[in-house]
Amino acid sequence: QLQLQESGSGLVKPSQTLSLTCAVSGGSISSGGYSWSWIRQPPGKGLEWIGYIYHSGSTYYNPSLKSRVTISVDRSKNQFSLKLSSVTAADTAVYYCARGVQGVLDYWGQGTLVTVSS
């Protein structure tokens, strides 16, 4: 059974860079045909698609976040990562990682709350 687990700093200061990692177990992140995604949800609001990285290494980002987002893969550790720079209070959210199959998100991590505050 595939499992995904987010980890990283739960508190980030404004203007700094948010960094999260998603550890994948029960399967290889190098398996072909999958994308590895990040989604976020501000408190009390809906889901916002952040972007994903394909097994090939190609990345696709939400245009509204593109200038600040980087998603990367570390195959040696079977994990992928999210970096979001120049954060503000508006970036406070629960951040989820997920596996995609042709875009369909079939496995999700439990989510991790990141608060942006000084």
Partner 1 sequence: AIQLTQSPSSLSASVGDRVTITCRASQGISSALAWYQQKPGKAPKLLIYDASSLESGVPSRFSGSGSGTDFTLTISSLQPEDFATYYCQQFNSYPHFFGQGTRLEIK
54 binds partner 1 (CB under 8 A): no
Question: Does 76 engage in binding with partner 1 (CB under 8 A)?
Answer: no
Which one of 60, 70, 72, 83 is in contact with partner 1 (CB under 8 A)? Answer: 60
Q: CA 95 to CA 29: how far, in whole Å?
A: 19
Query: Shortest CA distance to 6 belongs to which of 48, 36, 32?
Result: 36
Per-residue contact track with partner 1, 31 to 50, x per CB under 8 A? --------x------xxxx-
**What is the CA angle 76-5-42, rounded to 5?**
125
Question: Cβ atoms within 10 A of the Cβ of 3, count?
Answer: 13
Range 77-106, binding partner 1 (CB under 8 A): 96, 100, 102-106
Question: Contact positions toward partner 1, by CB under 8 A?
Answer: 39, 46-49, 51-52, 60-63, 96, 100, 102-106, 108-111
